[in-house]
Structure 1
Amino acid sequence: MLLGKMMSAVTAGVVLLALVGPGAVAQTIPTSQQQISLSFAPLVKQVAPAVVNVFTKRVVREQARSPFANDPFFQRFFGDRFSFGMPRERVQSSLGSGVIVRADGIIVTNNHVIANGDTFTVALSDRREFEAEVLLADERTDLAILKIDTKGEALPALAFGDSDGLEVGDLVLAIGNPFGVGQTVTSGIVSALARTQVGVTDYQFFIQTDAAINPGNSGGALVTMDGRLVGVNTAIFSRTGGSIGIGFAIPANMVRLVVASAADGNNGRVVRPWLGASVQTVTSELSQSLGLDRPGGVLIGDIYDGGPADKAGLATGDVVRRLDVHDVVDENALSYRLATREVGSSVSIEFLRGGIPRTGTLVLTAPPERPARDVTQLDGPHPFAGATVANLSPALAEELRLDAMQSGVVVTEIVRRSPANRLGVQPGDIILGVNNERVENVDALERALSRASGVGNWQVSVKRGDQVFNTTVRL
């Protein structure tokens, strides 16, 4: 109704006819000054002071270039590598937006806005500037939480709305600082919910809007008509770099959890619940093979002994269809629903077993630190010298973005120009064996390396993703 009245006001009294079914419904012209002057201005005045600019600076060291570097003669002999002198430093700057979510100076923005930065400055809508510290940077959700010292002053802040309560067609405002021109407000509607093919974060579950979002809007606010924050603007689909009416925002229910993790002081990381089982999306082909009436849901594979899925009564081959009141259509939806719940909470779960509906209660716990990490830097006359390794647990797998159902010895760091680096080992690789001796933990790996010390040829087995590499190394 509001949108209809606004359209009437814009057309200065023209009667609009919209064909609905067999008849026509006439939208009446404005009949009062109040109707003519309908505006978003009161809402903008309420929420805009809580949207800030975030300036990121980092120092980049680069080799000074010769004044002859662009000369064709020198290019012929030296190419683009012709440089001289001591390395020099220059400052790179980037600009984004942020939202004050707590009056004491807690600000949420996108992780890609502050990534690799050295110093951070927050500019309020009244042009005051504050140095900011990073409380938490979560690459998995592309969210970062900043803190500024307000000296006890209460800042204007936006309250979180329930992003699960959004419906396609709801009016929203996008507020940010596109192209660095200053704070800008655009209006639109919610175009779609639960978009999963965006590829920006690990949790593919975005609000899509046609409110204009441009570079610099990243980290800005997506606001409903009641003045609540329902999303953090993050990405656009564009062939030119400008807005074409397809923008994406991280839902507020996800943002709220990350903010809470930062405020709780979880050592700069987010602790999320886990299912304790491997899953795969039920596609059309898979649903036919399972004898289901339609695709959708997730098929349970391996189950972690004593994990949440195990305790909820799930078994291999079950198909999960709902968590509480929310449909689970694929793996992304399941990951999102779990990630927006607090550790220690419980949810009802609906699943099919042999086509028969069943229910259970899923008590959400953090992934366990079992076995203990035992982080060790390897050294000695062997191919893995220079690698830092640890025992892989569900908790460590979560941090490294690995399959939480895997176990073994995982590489966490590599020293440059080390034997492990020359071998091509990378962080995230899992060492399976040495000289045909399988290793299941760090102690077993060290014993295997010690027993093989002094040999000329080494047989090593390493897993990367779904591939296993077996090779012979000569030292």
Structure 2
Amino acid sequence: MTYLYSRSSDAPRRAGKTRSALLGAVALATVAAVGGGAALPAFAQAPQTATAPAATVPSFADVVDRVKPAVVSVRAKAEATQSAASPSARPDSNLPDFGLPDDHPFQEFFKRFRGQGGQNNEGPRFSQPRPRQGASQGSGFFISADGYLVTNNHVIDKSSEVEVLMDDGRTLPAEIVGTDPKTDLALLKVKEGGPFKFVELAPDAPRVGDWVLAVGNPFGLGGTVTAGIVSARARDIGAGPYDDFLQIDAPVNRGNSGGPTFNQRGQVVGVNTAIASPSGGNVGIAFAIPSETVQNVVTQLREKGTVERGFLGVQIQPVTKDIAASIGLPKSEGAIVARVEDNGPAAKAGLKAGDVVLSVNGKPVSDARDLSRTVASLNAGTTATLQVWRDGKQQDVSVTIGKMPSTTTAAADSKAGTEVGKLGLNLAPASATGDNDKAGVAVVGVEPGSPAAEKGFKTGDVIAQVAGQPVQTPADVKNALEASRKDGKKSVLFLVEAKEGTRFIALQIPAA
């Protein structure tokens, strides 16, 4: 018997009396109930305990039964490569050096085993490394009865042979139909052993908080099912130019790559691709490619074997608060055009550097990456209507979308130049830095800790415009700053060409 805490020394005795009284009351209540005696007073009746309804515990068993046969383990064998015994091996040996200095006493011991011990080279030698075949293991899922299945590109990248391990234990060969490294997706085809159980891609994006299931092959343990919720949407993790990941907290580990994430209807809402983890294991933050992206990529891979994307012919960047203030935009939204490529779709449509794209075909543009994804999803040859902010007002620009080609960037050399105001910039005409045909003003020095350094100016950048006006000399930059100050502006917009591309930088105008 457990006693309640009491300061009185006779608490056990009193508790015992109380227990006897209660037992007696219960006995009387039992006699009255069974024998039909008179009802007891209310205080003597046994308390009536209401039965709480059983809690409804979600079960995903029915969904799992439907979708699990369509999920497979994907095994890819890479081309045979010559490999050393250790990544820290010395060039003259297959034996690792363990990071020892050259004058360490053990080095003499190692040399003898390498056959390099001076005159006596009779010691045993280590065999030369033999080519070994690399392998990777991930997950995938069938999207059609005739054997098309989806996985991650990084699972089968550079592979010479791909096979899938079915849920029923069969191992079947697969061929690569097409890949898209920019979204990390790949389409495979299994020709033997069909028809196959398959699953559908969800037509609608899940909401944050929706339950989801992840099915895959973590650590080689095929057919593993985990559950969680959608933690966030539209995550940019720096994996590619079109990042738009779902974040889920369903446990996902190595080997889950390429596996599906399902909603409660058994539809695929995402393809598991990456995890955020300091240890390499699950910490509740996983990322999945949304089904909308998968559908677009897979359709093109199935029809053409490659992915074509729309092209606008501009370099863009996010609109910061400083940039928005400098051009009179009410709030920082959309994507500002830093450069318009010659003879590109944007140039032919009349788009200009400094325009801010606010929407495409009526769909608002939240930032530069959003614009990139939206344009890339459009088919070449289609006409799109861009709403842009130009000269302090909105206007529409109609543009015919092109097909994305490769792009190049340019940079300027650095030499001594002229200090400009209190910005921390040392400038010189770009034509004086080694390229006589180069236009603009070259940044040949940036003072550490200066306003220019804090905003990201670097030596080698070329300033093409200041406050919307082309500049050719440091004096042009000074004059543009002075004109903006007289107009009452607090910041001024620089158009800067760098190795990474062309971008706008807004700088606070220094005091006179």
TM-score by length of structure 2 reads 0.61
Aligned length: 350
The 3-state SS of whatever aligns with 2:269 is strand
The 3-state SS of whatever aligns with 1:182 is coil
The 3-state SS of whatever aligns with 1:118 is strand
Q: Would the alpha carbon gap of residues 227 and 360 (structure 1) be closer, same or farther in structure 2, given more than 3 Å must change?
A: farther
Map residues 228-243 of structure 1 onto 2, 5 A cutoff: 228-243=267-282
Greater mean alpha carbon deviation, residues 142-151 or residues 247-256: 142-151
Q: Would the alpha carbon gap of residues 91 and 305 (structure 1) be closer, same or farther in structure 2, given more than 3 Å must change?
A: closer
Q: Would the alpha carbon gap of residues 467 and 45 (structure 1) be closer, same or farther in structure 2, given more than 3 Å must change?
A: closer
Q: Could you tell me which residue of structure 1 aligns to residue 314 of structure 2?
A: 277
CA distance in 1, matches of 2:277, 2:344: 42
Choose from 215, 218, 225 the match for 1:175. 215
Q: Could you tell me which residue of structure 2 aligns to residue 135 of structure 1?
A: 177
Structure 1 stretches (4+) deviating beyond 6 angstroms? 64-71, 78-83, 435-438
Q: Would the alpha carbon gap of residues 75 and 96 (structure 1) be closer, same or farther in structure 2, given more than 3 Å must change?
A: farther
Q: Is the 8 A contact 1:69 1:75 kept in 2?
A: no
CA distance in 2, matches of 1:242, 1:85: 36
CA distance in 2, matches of 1:365, 1:245: 41
Choose from 146, 153, 168 the match for 1:104. 146
Are 1:189 and 2:245 matched, yes or no?
no
Q: Residue deviations 1:224-283, cap 9 Å, x none?
A: 2222222111111111111111111112222222212221234xx321111122211111
Greater mean alpha carbon deviation, residues 100-109 or residues 76-85: 76-85
> Could you tell me which amino acid in structure 2 is paired with residue 39 of structure 1?
S
Choose from 72, 79, 87 the match for 1:52. 72
Q: Is the 8 A contact 1:200 1:235 kept in 2?
A: no
CA distance in 2, matches of 1:354, 1:61: 61
Q: Is the 8 A contact 1:276 1:307 kept in 2?
A: yes
What is the Cα deviation at residue 37 of structure 1? 6.3
> Could you tell me which amino acid in structure 1 is paired with residue 374 of structure 2?
R
Q: Is the 8 A contact 1:257 1:342 kept in 2?
A: no
Q: Could you tell me which residue of structure 1 aligns to residue 167 of structure 2?
A: 125
> Could you tell me which amino acid in structure 1 is paired with residue 136 of structure 2?
S
Choose from 65, 85, 88 the match for 2:130. 88
What is the Cα deviation at residue 306 of structure 1? 5.1
CA distance in 1, matches of 2:66, 2:247: 24
Q: Could you tell me which residue of structure 2 aligns to residue 206 of structure 1?
A: 245
Q: Is the 8 A contact 2:358 2:387 kept in 1?
A: yes
Q: Would the alpha carbon gap of residues 211 and 327 (structure 1) be closer, same or farther in structure 2, given more than 3 Å must change?
A: farther
What is the Cα deviation at residue 299 of structure 1? 0.8
Q: Residue deviations 1:270-306, cap 9 Å, x none?
A: 2111112221111122112112122121112332455
Greater mean alpha carbon deviation, residues 206-215 or residues 314-323: 314-323
What is the Cα deviation at residue 112 of structure 1? 1.2
Q: Could you tell me which residue of structure 1 aligns to residue 82 of structure 2?
A: 61
- Higher gyration radius (CA): 2
C-alpha RMSD over aligned residues: 3.6
CA distance in 2, matches of 1:325, 1:45: 42
Choose from 372, 385, 398 the match for 1:335. 372
CA distance in 2, matches of 1:306, 1:220: 42
What is the Cα deviation at residue 89 of structure 1? 2.5
Q: Residue deviations 1:354-398, cap 9 Å, x none?
A: 23223344443313xxxxxxxxxxxxxxxxxxxxxxxxxxx2x1x
Q: Is the 8 A contact 1:253 1:340 kept in 2?
A: no
Q: Could you tell me which residue of structure 1 aligns to residue 462 of structure 2?
A: none
Choose from 332, 335, 352 the match for 1:298. 335
Q: Residue deviations 1:38-96, cap 9 Å, x none?
A: 42111122222222110112333235798977893456549999975554122332210
* Identity rate, percent: 37
Q: Could you tell me which residue of structure 2 aligns to residue 466 of structure 1?
A: 499
Choose from 255, 258, 262 the match for 2:297. 258
Greater strand percent: which structure? 1
Q: Would the alpha carbon gap of residues 360 and 37 (structure 1) be closer, same or farther in structure 2, given more than 3 Å must change?
A: same
CA distance in 2, matches of 1:81, 1:255: 56
The 3-state SS of whatever aligns with 1:168 is coil
What are the ranges of 5 or more consecutive residues in structure 2 without an aligned counterpart?
A: 1-50, 87-92, 99-105, 117-124, 411-433, 438-496, 502-512
CA distance in 2, matches of 1:250, 1:47: 19
The 3-state SS of whatever aligns with 1:62 is coil
